[in-house]
């Protein structure tokens, strides 16, 4: 499996921040759920997606 | 005193006839005792009575009202329902009057984001779906019941009490002339969603109720649209909610629309509210200056509930009396037809003294299992139509938004249409056959697939109220030991018919011979010469063999009769 390089992670960080700022404020949640579904489709592994979901729920 | 309305119901398309109430038993010195009393003359009660009569079982049918039901109610009947209605003799009338269809469309922001296509096999006599208003279907069934000397339909008879005994139940029945009592070896509760028998016995449904409420309205309007299901998600006039449209015969359209969460049914059914919303929906499908009349309207909320057991001593539950299922996916009446189809033969053979101890209980086992499967399926489509939590709503809305550009989410719009249940874990299935060895064909528990035999000629046209052995052979006669075993079973009164398939001429010892000249039936059933399928009277497979002898047939029938 591919992992993100530091440079790649930095790029994702900026892209995500910029996209969140571009989305209308009231639609940010919707945008994030769409992104999660698209990422899940690209991942193609429901079990892995479940692990990621649990990880994201930590320390909210 | 029970006095149902004797004013004919109002309808734009159906001519209601008020029937005289049955009062002859009022004041009788002694309660009559019947084999079967069916409570409720809706589609399921009527079909159950007709199905029992096919086995020679008489019944008394009690209906609280004096006319058939009000409003279109159940409007979409599946192929399997038509196959069951064919057995009781009304399918031709339903197909003649009904509108058949197979496509469903889902729209979001004026774009068609999903098109469902129900499969249509050349071997099927009936379309995947047929639209017809419930009172029309009830009328056909009532006429069939009235023409049947084994069935007595009593209008205006309302059950007010039930008392169970070891070998019968006693019903108190109220009529416009006063009460009377009636006893039955078996009472069938087909008295619908608000079942009086369910309440009288204090039984509780299990499962989920959903928040989303819908107005269901029938209007008469001429629309130049095909007979297809239309679903609109989050339309501009009803933000966040869902709207459905179906064509019915006679230029009647059913419009189902979800209500805003804080609105009461009274507010929703106010004429000005109905008019504004229906006009808005018609504008969405391109109608300018709409001219329409309202036929009927009601408020509905989705529930997915079942009794955990359908047999309570001498009372047996069917249809909506046994379970309440969401309308999305046409699972109400269509599930009920499968209930009564599963029940009639078992009860008939039990009354004839042919049933083992497990036969009647298997009705509850099979049909509660089916209801639970349907509830799981229906839950998915209901949660998509009417998301019950903030999380559900957010993900649903994300799917709507993505569906405009991303094909992978579009199958989530599929509303998982009602389909027949496979009784794979039925105690009636044979345990030492060759089920797993077949390369094709219906597995144990599945309904037989229909097969087109010729012009206007299908396999199901030849099936009756009996077990059917489909025996595949090119020989001109059945093996002697099979014939001897079949004769012995029939001698005991077990209804068994043998269809010989694959020989050019009539086969000695078979009730019917099908040449199957092009081998299509054999190939669809994955059958070589010597193979055999045993179907129960409800057309579900209970055994199949690569090679069959008389002893194995005897054992399979023994098991299928509930002798575990």
**pLDDT band per the 50, 70, 90 thresholds, residue A1:** low
CATH code where residue B314 lies: 3.50.50.60
What is the structure's pLDDT at B208? 81
CA of B522 vs chain A CAs: smallest distance (Å): 40
- Reported as a single tens digit per residue, the pLDDT across B304-344 is 899 999 999 999 999 999 999 887 778 889 999 999 999 99
Per-residue pLDDT at B399 exceeds 90: yes
CB < 8 Å to A37, chain B? 395, 398-399, 402, 409
Question: DSSP assignment of B339-370, as one string?
Answer: HHHHHHHHHHHHHTT---TTHHHHHHHHHHHH
Are residues B356 and B499 located together in one domain of the fold? no
What is the mean predicted confidence (pLDDT) over B60-88? 96
Domain stop point among B375, B391, B421: B375
Please determine, for residue B415, whether its predicted confidence score (pLDDT) is greater than 80. no
Chosen from B384, B387, B401 to mutate, greatest number of chain A CBs within 10 A: B401
Mean pLDDT of chain B: 95
Do B402 and A38 lie within an 8 Å CB cutoff? Answer: yes
Residue B425 lies in a domain: no
Among B330, B354, B375, the domain boundary falls at B375
The answer to whether the CB of B445 falls within 8 A of the CB of B425 is yes
B267 part of a folded domain: no
Measured in angstroms, the CA of B106 and the nearest CA of chain A are apart by: 19
Average pLDDT over residues B129-155: 98
Residue B418 is classified by DSSP as -
Q: What is the pLDDT of residues B240-253, one digit of tens each?
A: 999 999 999 999 99
B468 lies in the same domain as B366: no
pLDDT in tens, B344-387: 999 999 999 999 999 999 999 999 999 999 888 888 888 898 89
Instruction: Give CA–CA dist B281/B283, Å, rounded.
Output: 5
Q: Which residues in chain B are closer than 8 Å to A38, comparing Cβ atoms?
A: 402, 406
Residues B469 and B334 in one domain: no
Residues of A in contact with B402 (CB under 8 A): 34, 37-38
Q: Are B81 and B333 in contact (CB under 8 A)?
A: yes
With 80 as the cut, is the pLDDT of residue B90 above it?
A: yes
User: pLDDT band at B516, cuts 50/70/90?
Assistant: very high
pLDDT for B189? 98
The answer to whether residue B419 scores a pLDDT higher than 90 is: no
Asked whether residue B74 falls in the same domain as residue B157, the answer is yes
Q: Are residues B77 and B154 in the same domain?
A: yes
Q: What is the mean pLDDT of residues B124-149?
A: 97
Please name the member of A30, A38, A41 whose beta carbon is closest to the beta carbon of B394.
Answer: A30
- Asked if residue B231 belongs to a domain, the reply is no
Domain residues for B521? 435-560
Residue B162 lies in a domain: yes
B201, B133: one domain: yes
Classify residue B328: in a domain, yes or no. yes
pTM listed for this prediction: 0.95
- Whether B324 and B182 share a structural domain: yes
Give the whole-angstrom CA distance, residue B120 versus residue B127.
Answer: 7
Residue with tokens 């043998």: B498
Q: Are residues B324 and B452 in the same domain?
A: no
Token pair listed for B349: 């053979």
Structure tokens at A7: 């440079």
pLDDT value of residue B261: 84
Residue B117 forms part of a structural domain = no
Please count the structural domains in chain B. Answer: 2
Nearest to A33 among B394, B406, B408 (CB): B394
* Whether B369 and B447 share a structural domain: no
Average pLDDT estimate for B26-33: 95
Which CATH number fits the domain that encloses residue B441? 3.40.30.120
- Whole-Å CA distances, B81 to B42, B91, B336, B406, B526: 15, 9, 9, 36, 26
Residues β-bridged to residue B124: none
Q: Determine the average pLDDT of the residues in A41-59.
A: 97
C-alpha B539/C-alpha B553 separation (Å) is 17
Q: What is the mean pLDDT of residues A46-50?
A: 97
When pLDDT is cut at 50, 70 and 90, the band that residue B43 belongs to is very high
Q: What is the C-alpha separation between B197 and B208, in angstroms, rounded?
A: 21
In a mutagenesis test of the B interface, which of A28, A30, A57 is the best target, namely the one with the most B β-carbons within 10 Å? A30
CB–CB contacts below 8 A, A to B:
22
Clarify whether residues B326 and B440 are in a common domain: no
| Boundary (domain end) residue, out of B352, B375, B398 | B375
Residue B194 and residue B330 in one domain: yes
**CA torsion, points B310, B195, B347, B182, in degrees to nearest 10?**
130
Q: Mean pLDDT across chain A, nearest whole number?
A: 95
Whether residues B70 and B181 share a domain: the answer is yes
CA dist., res. B344 & res. B151, Å (int) = 14
Neighboring chain B residues of A33 at a CB cutoff of 8 Å: 394-395, 397-398
Residue B298: predicted pLDDT: 95
On whether residue B144 sits in a domain, the answer given is yes
pLDDT digits (tens, 9 = 90+) for B106-130: 999 989 999 999 888 999 999 999 9
Residues present in chain A in total: 60
Q: Is residue B136 part of a domain?
A: yes
Distance from CA of B411 to the nearest CA of A (A): 13
Determine the Cα–Cα distance for residues B113 and A31; give it in Å rounded to an integer. 19
DSSP B159-179: EEEEEE-SS-EEEEEEETTEE
ipTM field: 0.95
- Distance (Å, whole) CA B43 – CA B64: 14
Distance from CA of A56 to the nearest CA of B (A): 15
- Give the pair of three-digit tokens for residue B559: 């098991």
Rounded CA-CA distance B401/B110 in Å is 12
Residue B435: half-sphere exposure toward Cβ, Cα within 13 Å: 18
Question: Pairing between strand B252-258 and B242-248?
Answer: antiparallel
Our CA angle for B115, B226, B380, nearest 5°, is: 35
Residue of A27, A34, A44, A57 to mutate, interface with B, max B Cβ within 10 Å:
A34
Has residue B211 got a pLDDT over 80?
no
In chain B, what percentage of residues exceed pLDDT 70? 100
With both helix axes pointing from N to C terminus, report the angle between B333-351 and B359-385 in degrees, rounded to the nearest 10: 180
Residue B394 is nearest to which of A29, A38, A41, comparing CB atoms? A29
């Amino acid at each position: 499996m591919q992992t993100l390089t530091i440079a790649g992670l930095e790029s994702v960080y900026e892209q995500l921040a910029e996209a969140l700022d571009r989305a209308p404020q009231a639609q940010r949640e919707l945008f994030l759920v769409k992104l999660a579904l698209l990422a899940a489709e690209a991942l193609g592994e429901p079990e892995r997606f479940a692990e990621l979901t649990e990880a994201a729920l930590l320390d909210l | 005193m029970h006095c149902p309305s004797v004013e004919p119901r109002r309808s734009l398309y159906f001519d209601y006839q008020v029937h005289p109430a049955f009062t002859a038993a009022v004041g009788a010195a002694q309660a009559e005792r019947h084999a079967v009393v069916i409570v409720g003359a809706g589609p399921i009660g009527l079909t159950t009575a007709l199905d029992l009569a096919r086995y020679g079982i008489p019944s008394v049918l009690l209906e609280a009202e004096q006319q058939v039901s009000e409003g279109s109610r159940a409007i979409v009947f599946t192929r399997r329902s038509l196959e069951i209605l064919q057995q009781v003799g009304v399918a031709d009338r339903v197909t003649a009057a009904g509108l058949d269809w197979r496509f469903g469309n889902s729209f979001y922001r004026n774009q068609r984001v999903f098109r469902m296509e129900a499969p249509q096999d050349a071997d099927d006599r009936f379309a995947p779906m047929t639209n017809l208003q419930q009172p029309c279907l009830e009328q056909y069934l009532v006429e069939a019941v009235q023409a049947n000397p084994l069935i007595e339909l009593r209008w205006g008879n309302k059950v007010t009490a039930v008392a169970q005994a070891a070998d019968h139940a006693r019903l108190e029945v109220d009529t416009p002339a006063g009460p009377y009592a009636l006893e039955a070896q078996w009472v069938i509760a087909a008295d619908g969603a608000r079942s009086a028998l369910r309440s009288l016995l204090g039984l509780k449904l299990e499962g989920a109720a959903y928040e989303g409420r819908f107005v269901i309205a029938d209007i008469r309007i001429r629309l130049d649209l095909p007979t297809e299901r239309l679903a609109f998600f989050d339309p501009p006039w009803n933000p966040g909610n869902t709207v459905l449209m179906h064509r019915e015969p006679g230029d009647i359209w059913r419009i189902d629309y979800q209500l805003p969460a804080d609105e009461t049914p009274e507010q929703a059914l106010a004429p000005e509210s109905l008019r504004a919303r229906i006009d808005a929906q018609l504008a969405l499908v391109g109608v300018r200056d709409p001219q329409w009349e309202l036929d009927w309207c009601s408020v509905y909320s989705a529930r997915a509930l079942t009794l955990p057991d359908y047999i309570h001593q001498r009372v047996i539950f069917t249809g909506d009396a046994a379970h309440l299922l969401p309308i999305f996916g046409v699972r109400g009446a269509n599930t009920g037809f499968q209930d009564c189809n599963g029940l009639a033969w078992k009860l008939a053979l039990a009354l004839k003294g042919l049933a083992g101890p497990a036969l009647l209980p298997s009705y509850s086992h099979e049909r509660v299992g089916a209801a639970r499967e349907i509830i799981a399926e229906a839950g998915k489509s209901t949660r998509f139509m009417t998301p019950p939590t903030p999380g559900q709503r957010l993900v649903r809305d994300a799917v709507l938004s993505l569906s405009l550009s991303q094909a992978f989410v579009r199958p989530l719009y599929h509303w998982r249409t009602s389909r027949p249940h496979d009784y794979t874990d039925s105690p009636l299935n044979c345990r030492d056959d060759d089920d797993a060895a077949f390369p094709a064909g219906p597995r144990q528990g599945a309904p037989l697939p229909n097969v087109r035999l010729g012009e206007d000629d299908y396999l199901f046209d030849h099936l009756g109220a009996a077990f059917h052995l489909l025996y595949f052979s090119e020989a001109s006669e059945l093996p002697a030991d099979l014939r001897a075993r079949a004769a012995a079973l029939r001698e005991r009164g077990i209804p068994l018919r043998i269809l010989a398939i694959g020989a050019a001429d009539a086969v000695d010892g078979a009730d019917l011979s099908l040449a199957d000249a092009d081998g299509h039936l054999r190939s669809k059933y994955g059958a070589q010469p010597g193979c055999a399928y045993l179907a129960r009277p409800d057309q579900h497979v209970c055994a199949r063999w690569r090679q069959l002898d008389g002893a194995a047939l005897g054992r399979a029938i023994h098991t299928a009769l509930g002798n575990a």
